[in-house]
Every structure is written in structure tokens, then in C-alpha cells.
Amino acid sequence: MLITGIKSRPVYDELTPMATGASHVAAAQGSGGEPLVRLLREMDPDQLSATTVLYSVESFTGKNHLADLQDFAVRELVVFPTNADAVSGLDALLATAKMGTRLYLSGSEGFIGTSMQVATSYGMNRDEVLREHAGSFVRRVWCAHCSHYSENVSRRIFRCPGCARHLIVRDHYSGRLAAFQGVKADGEVPGELPENEELDT
């Protein structure tokens, strides 16, 4: 579980079947396959047959749980090569979803956050969605200066691919943008960079 002193970071849940759901959508990425396997194990056969699984095999740490996911008798299992494709797939699926749909998200913070943007756009409430963080602590970062989004940022200071500035990642998270905030690291004196560090929390 991801618990830090960052007040604006989402508080994550543990995936467990939501009994009130008439239909279930479970989307995961990379290491997020593991919580998904646990979720599916806890489901009864009726719930499983009413569950669509979306899984992206893109992974920062190289974990792939596709073989385990294939063991379950779900309504449908759709595999995507990238996280962006999986989020698009989720968008297409929710566009036709009926009332009573419950959503389960698992994986990196960036994947959960961008999937949440999709869920929010369809008016899904927080009590219809469970989110479980899995895998590395890499962050999705929004550049405050050029609005470029960088995925899988693992260091406190990195170079923005959008504007080439060195950005420092602030411990401040926006659910609306599904990203942490990156600002010019050497803003006061160009070239005077603070010490870099691993983003391990």
C-alpha cells in the first residue's frame, strides 16, 4: 500500500468484489495483474461471468500476469500492448456500460489516474470504483511550463521532453490532471540544480 505524507495523493484501496455490482470491469497494467488475480479468486462464478478484464502488458518493472489471468472464466479478457491502449479500451467499454457497473483499477499511479479521468468523465462516483496501487513508485508528471505529461518518472529531477527544462517533481498530485507537478528545478539560478534522488515513496 502506498502511504506517504503527500496530502493530495489519492488514498488507495484494496480490490475486493463489490457485492452491489451487476456488471464488473477490472482494468490493470503490469504488476497490477497480481491484485487482479486476487480479486478474481474472491469472485463467485456469477460475478466472474459478469466481469470484463482489461490488461496492459506494458510494465516498468517487467512483471506480466497474463498467464494467471487467463485461468479465470470471465466474460471477456482483452489484452493491450500499452497502457494508453488499455485506457482507450476502458473508455470505449464504459461508453456502453449500464447502470450498476463497478470498476476495479490496479497498477501504477499513472495508469490508475488516467483510468480515473475516464471513469470520472462517465460520471462514475468514487463508491463505484476501487483502486489498488501495485508495482513501482514511478510517477506521471505534468510540466507546469509546457503542459507535457511524462510517464514513469522515477527521479526527483528529470529533463522534460516537452520543453527540455530540468524539472523538480513536487510532492503534489492533481486528480484532475492525474499527475504530479513538475516545475523548473533551477528556476532561481540556471544550472544550480538541487540534489537528485530516487522517487521511492
Partner 1 sequence: MTAVSNPAGFTPDETYTPDGEYRFRNSREAVRRLPFPFPDDEYMYSMNLEPHVPAGAGALRAAFDVDEHYVSECAHRDQMLQEMPGVHYLALPHMMEAQWDLLELIFESYNRDFPEHFTLTRNGNEWRWQNRLLGIDDSFTFGDPDTLPMDPMEYATRQAQGEFVVLEERDNTLVIGAGMTTQRADYSLQFNLGMNFAEFHGPVPKLDKMGILDRALKFLLRMKPGHPVRRVNWSLTVHPRLETSVETLPDWAPDRAEVTAGNAGDMVYLRIELQPLHRLPRSNAIVFPVRTYLVSLAELVEHAPDWAKRVHRALASLDPELADYKGFHRYHGAAVAWLAQHDDGAPLAAGYPWYPEGIQPG
- DSSP 8-state class, residue 131: E
| Binding to partner 1, residues 82-101 (CB under 8 A) | none
The smaller minimum CB distance to partner 1, of residues 74 and 141, is found at 141
Three-state SS for 42-102 is HCCHHHHHCEEEEEECCCCCCCCCHHHHCCCCCCEEEEECCHHHHHHHHHHHHHCCCCCEE
Can you read off the three cell numbers belonging to residue 51? 466481469
Binding part of the chain for partner 1, among 16-24, 39-47, 68-76, 167-175 by CB under 8 A, reads 167-175
Residue 195 near partner 1 by CB under 8 A: no
Comparing CB distances to partner 1, the nearer of 81 and 175 is: 175
| The three cell numbers locating residue 127 | 463508491
**Interface residues for partner 1 in 173-192 (CB under 8 A)?**
173-177, 181, 183-184, 187-190
Nearer to partner 1, 72 or 162 (CB): 162
Give the contacts of 19 (CB within 8 A, at least 6 positions apart): none
Contact positions with partner 1 (CB under 8 A) in 117-146? 142, 144-145
132 touches 32 (CB < 8 A):
yes
> Which residues bind to partner 1, rule: CB under 8 A?
6-8, 142, 144-145, 165, 170-177, 181, 183-184, 187-190
